[in-house]
Amino acid sequence: MIPLSIWDKFKKIKNDDWKSLLKLSTDFQSTYYFNEKTNERFGFHFYATLVDEQIIQESALPALLTKKFESLDDLHRIVPIADIHILKNPRDIEQKLLNGYVLVTLDSDKNRFGFIAAQKEIVRSLSQPEIEFSVIGPKEAFVEAIGQNLNLIRKRLPIKELISQEYTVGKLSKTKVAVLHIEGITNKDNVDTVKQRIKNIEIDTISDSSNIVELLSDNSNSLFPQLLDTERPDRVAAILAEGKIAIIVDGSPHVLIAPTTLIEFFSAFEDYFLNWIVATFFRLVRFFAVVFSVLVTPIYVAAMTYQYELIPPDLLGILVTSRRTIPLPPILEALFLELTIELLREAGARLPTKVGQTIGIVGGIVIGTASVEAGLTSNVLLIFVALGALGSFTTPVYKMGNTIRVLRFPFLLFAQFWGVLGILFCFCILIAHLLRLTSLGRPFLAPIYPLRVADMKDTLIRAPLQKMYRRPHVLRTQKPKRFNKKKAENPKDIDE
Amino acid sequence: MQSQTIPNNLKISPYLVFYVMISMQIGIGILGYQRIIADYAGHDAWISILILGVYIHIVLWMMYKLCEMVNGDIITVHEFLFGRFISKVASFAFVLFYITYLLSFILNFIEVIQIWMFPDINNFAFSVLFLLLAIYIVYGGLRTVVGICFFGTILPAYLVFTFTFTLKYADFTHLLPIWEHKFTELLQASYHMSLTSVGFEAILFIYPFINQPQKSKKWAHIGVATTTIFYTVLAIIAFSYFSKKQLENTIWATLSMWQMVQFPFVERFEYIGVANWCLILLPNICLSLWIASRLLKRATKLKQRKGAILISAISVIIVTFFEKGVDIERFNQIVERMSFAFVFVYVPLLYCLSLIIKKVKKT
């Protein structure tokens, strides 16, 4: 589409000038009709691709043709559509037309313009969450349309305190961005920070909420995502109630959550639907998987290159036997396999699902066994690398999974430099980096540092729902308590 | 050089002082202090640790009194007592003190690595990388530095359990008879324990950064007491595990004890132990760097960022000039004297002086 900001060049726009540029698009239509009662000529101007013609034909046009239509003010009275504006400034025309309004002009009233809302909403139907799938729990996921997403959230939080404020971001894309919070719970500073940062965004197009993540992050050079994105309306409703802020971006099926902490990226929302002991167990498994996934190949490299004394004799025997015929040093062997896994993942992600599956089988079985048989890699390392890859896929948030996968490469390099010492050194770097990270100015490592024992109820463990009667301290909410603890527990004595 | 007011969002919670104390006290000395104190007081040396521990509490109490007097750090104390010029001189002295402190950590750690892991590790490369990391942390402000203190205490805490492996072979009769040595011998051992126990003087410099410093007092004392108890227990374990002759020949007693640790998946645990020291030393180095660069800023108006880089560069240059072994031994002796003089002699003197000067000023 032609950028219409050329409008601004005209200091005074004559009332008919607005047409000259619009006419260049073939989907822009102008038609003229005569009112049956007054015989006034009026014009309909709209982008055929943006408006719903059914609305025009069934509601707007019959009314304007048959009922008495003398001045533009009559629009409010005779057209059965609520969203009608009458404006004087020709500069507003462009924006309204592009937002899916129909411009109504009246020959006898050339200084004013009437607008009738007739947006065509192309929405896809709700589908199941694909990234954050859960066996138990709600099965609806967000879609691309902002209105529908808001509807999904409002249905779960039918309270007037749920405030949504809309902004337009992007000079060309004019993307709608809505900031949601619950008045009276959410910390005001946090809300203001988000709003201020959204207002300050200077960019031409926004393609997805991921763009907003990058632009809102405290440190956009970090490997770690600092805003959580989710496709689950239930999760968004829950975090809003917790006192956080949700950001909906039009055209993106992922809603952003801020501020977040590192721990949150490892908690699946399904945890809250399971028994708390089971959920805690799963969480611990997940944490172990992540640590294992990052460290296992580096430790292999460290032990095989420098500190083989670390490994007990029996285990060392197995390792040495498996490595006996391998011509490559451990680091190359590890890099070879790790990169193979990354290749498989990347190929699988870029291909259609069915072909992707085939690639997975070909890669996993054929390349794996073949490289071991060819003597390029040891089968022990193959097990480690495969397990490590599996571990990295257990992170419930996709973006964090990517981070975890990249994270092992610096560890590998340091392991090659200084063995176990290098791994620990790299770990120190990681901790230092995480300590410096903030999400909307709130510490990213909370509640571990700064330590808040009360907030630990929803971290490595998932405490019973009734024990989590306080909102996280780190959010500094206006109402620290969620519900009355005593009422919820309702203790009964043995003989009652 | 007015003591600037610190914005609240840069301050740390009082309880974090606990971790600062522990992580600053536990440094390189813990790896081999047992032999040194046993040289003077034999199997009674654990009493010396307790004696020193009591003295540390008194000194810590004095430090808090000094800081409370002016509601600022030790430089403000100097300014209050002796005027601006002396306080500037003192700042420079402390900058030098912390640079040597920092050097002693890096040099000793490199030595440990050379003896236990990599005989040929490059002094230059290692110190550059380590200090770059320290600079990165210092750039995050005191909150990040204290965060490193926190993790430097919490994460390696599991190592405490590894010492239980030696209990199987411990013979506690080694400790008997109790109090066989002269009191002067015990005091001598206490003196040589001092380098291992210092670090808590950091409170003199971070005091203005503590939120409600009154509340932090309790935590500081608990922290110091924890370290003292830990040192005592570790010494007792070492004395009962090693025979007297053995201990005389064991430079790194703590590391040697790890040779007893065995897991089904780890054969030689001391490698992991030494590697863990990376994380334990990091707080010491970072906080030293932070203190030195901040003092430099207060004395010369040099930006703290630039100061941190300058100090690190100087440290790296000095580290590359050091030779193995003898040099470091001599250097450690200097650091020991210096830290003892500062923490255990100068601070009490300063406290007494402050009482007198306050009286004089009143009248």
The pLDDT tens digits for A373-394 are 888 888 889 889 989 988 988 8
Report d(CA B128, CA A85) in Å as an integer: 67
Of B242, B225, B315, the residue nearest B22 (C-alpha): B225
Q: What percent of chain A shows pLDDT beyond 70?
A: 96
Nearest CA to B284 among B10, B13, B25? B25
A112 membership: H or E segment, kind and range: strand A109-117
Strands (E), A154-283: 162-169, 175-182, 228-230, 245-249, 255-258
Q: Is the pLDDT of residue A1 over 60?
A: no
Tokens linked to B140: 């995050």
Dihedral of alpha carbons B190, B192, B193, B197, sign: positive
Residue A335 lies in a domain: yes
pLDDT confidence of residue A87: 85
On whether the CB atoms of residues B139 and B290 are closer than 8 A, the answer is no
CB within 8 Å: A435 and B148: yes
- Per the domain annotation, does B43 fall within a domain? yes
The verdict on A55 and A166 lying in the same domain is no
What are the tens digits of pLDDT across the range A246-265? 999 999 999 999 899 999 99
Q: Are residues A433 and A291 in the same domain?
A: yes
- Which residues on B lie below 8 Å from A411 (Cβ)? none
Burial label, A439 (beta-carbon count in 10 A; 0-12, 13-18, 19+) = buried
Amino acid at B191: Y
Interface contact B133-A313, CB threshold 8 A: no
Q: What is the pLDDT of residue A11?
A: 44
Count Cβ atoms within 10 A of the Cβ of residue A42 and give its class: 0-12 exposed, 13-18 middle, 19 or more buried.
buried
Domain contains A485: no
Position A121 pLDDT exceeds 80: no
Do A94 and A165 belong together in one domain? no
Q: Are A359 and A351 in contact (CB under 8 A)?
A: yes
Task: Tell me the whole-structure pTM to 2 decimals.
Answer: 0.90
Q: What percent of chain A has pLDDT over 90?
A: 36
Write the residue in A312, A421, A432 that is nearest to B275 by C-beta: A421
Task: Measure CB to CB from residue A312 to each of B113, B140, B267 and give the nearest one.
Answer: B267
Domain that holds residue A152: 146-260
Kindly list the residues from chain B whose CB atom is less than 8 angstroms away from the CB atom of residue A310: 266-268, 271-272
Number of domains in chain B: 1
- Is A18 contained in some domain? yes
Give yes or no for a contact between B113 and A421, defined as CB atoms under 8 angstroms apart.
yes
Say which DSSP state B6 is in.
Answer: P
Residue A294 domain flag: yes
Q: Does residue B87 sit within a domain? A: yes
Describe the strand order of the beta sheet including A255-258 as a list of residue ranges: A162-169, A175-182, A245-249, A255-258, A228-230
How many domains, in total, are found in chain A?
3
* Residue B272 sits at the chain A interface (C-beta within 8 Å): yes
Pull the structure tokens for residue A187: 């910390």
Residue A22: per-residue pLDDT: 75
pLDDT at A69: 83
pLDDT of res. A177: 94
Are residues A85 and A65 part of one domain? yes
Q: Domain check: are A337 and A308 in the same one? A: yes
Asked whether residue A111 falls in the same domain as residue A191, the answer is no
User: B342: domain CATH number?
Assistant: 1.20.1740.10
- Please, what are the averages of pLDDT over each run of 10 residues along chain B (363 residues)? 69 93 91 89 90 94 92 89 90 93 91 88 89 95 94 92 87 84 90 90 92 92 95 92 88 88 85 90 94 91 92 92 76 91 93 90 79
Residue A3, pLDDT > 60, answer: no
Contacts of B136 in chain A (CB under 8 A): 429, 432-433, 436
Question: A178 and A229 share a domain?
Answer: yes
A49 within domain boundaries: yes
- Please state the rounded mean pLDDT for residues A203-221: 91
**Sheet order of strands, A28-34 included:** A28-34, A41-47, A101-106, A109-117, A84-87
> pLDDT band at residue A234, thresholds of 50, 70 and 90?
very high
Query: CA of B346 to nearest chain A CA: how many angstroms apart?
Result: 34
pLDDT for A10 equals: 46
pLDDT value at position A15?
A: 52
- Could you tell me if residue B357 is inside a domain? no
Distances (CA, A) of B176 to B42, B50, B166, B180: 11, 17, 19, 8
Residues A425 and A313 in one domain: yes
Residue A199 reports pLDDT greater than 80: yes
**A231 φ/ψ angles, rounded to the nearest 5 degrees:** -110, 15
Q: What is the pLDDT of residue A16?
A: 59
The answer to whether residues A402 and A392 touch, using CB atoms and an 8 Å cutoff, is: no
Does residue A424 sit in the same domain as residue A287? yes
- Please indicate whether residue A111 or residue A488 has the higher confidence score (pLDDT): A111
Domain boundary (A420, A439, A458) is at: A439
* Separation of alpha carbons A254 and A212, rounded Å: 11
Q: Is A364 helix (H, G, I), strand (E, B) or coil?
A: helix
What three-state secondary structure class fits A174?
coil
Encoding tokens for residue A235? 């999760």
Task: Assess if residue A488 is contained within a domain.
Answer: no
CA closest to A307 among chain B residues: B271
Does some domain include residue B327?
yes
Tell me, what's the pLDDT at A203?
Answer: 92
Q: Is B10 on the interface with A (CB under 8 A)?
A: no
By the CB < 8 Å criterion, does A427 face chain B? yes
Q: What is the ipTM of this complex?
A: 0.93
Yes or no, beta carbons of B275 and A435 under 8 Å apart? no
Residue B359 is assigned to a structural domain of this protein: no
Handedness of CA A455, A457, A458, A461 (dihedral sign): positive
Q: What angle do CA A211, A214, A218 make, to 5 degrees?
A: 155
Q: Is residue A82 part of a domain?
A: yes
Give the one of B118, B147, B279 whose C-beta lies nearest to A449's C-beta: B147
Report phi then psi at A32, rounded to 5.
-120, 145
The distance in angstroms from the start CA to the end CA of chain A is 74
Contact B297, B95 (CB under 8 A): no
* CA distance to partner chain B, nearest, from residue A435 (Å): 6
User: Do A279 and A384 reside in the same domain of the chain?
Assistant: yes
pLDDT of residue A17: 63
Strands A41-47 and A28-34: antiparallel
Distances (CA, A) of A157 to A167, A181, A182, A466, B148: 22, 11, 10, 20, 41
Range of the domain at B207: 8-351
- Judged by DSSP in three states, A417 sits in helix
Q: How many residues are recorded in chain A?
A: 496
Average pLDDT, chain A: 86
pLDDT on residue A208: 92
Based on the domain organization, do A290 and A427 belong to the same domain? yes
Which residues in chain B are contacts of A309 at CB distance < 8 A?
A: 267-268, 271
Single-letter amino acid code for the residue at A106: L
CA distances from B104 to A480, B127, B196, B251, B312 (A): 47, 12, 12, 17, 13
CA-nearest of B46, B32, B40 to B174 is: B46
Calpha distance B189→B167 (Å, rounded): 24
Of A309, A316, A425, nearest to B278 by CB-CB distance is A425
Between the alpha carbon of residue B153 and those of residues A444, B23, B156, B158, B282, the distances in Å are 19, 6, 6, 10, 10
For residue B360, tell me if it sits in a domain.
Answer: no
Joined tokens for residue B359:
């009286």
pLDDT surpasses 80 at A61: yes
pLDDT at A345: 84
In terms of domains, do A220 and A170 share one? yes
CA distance A198 to chain B (A): 24
Whether residue B81 is contained in a domain is answered as yes
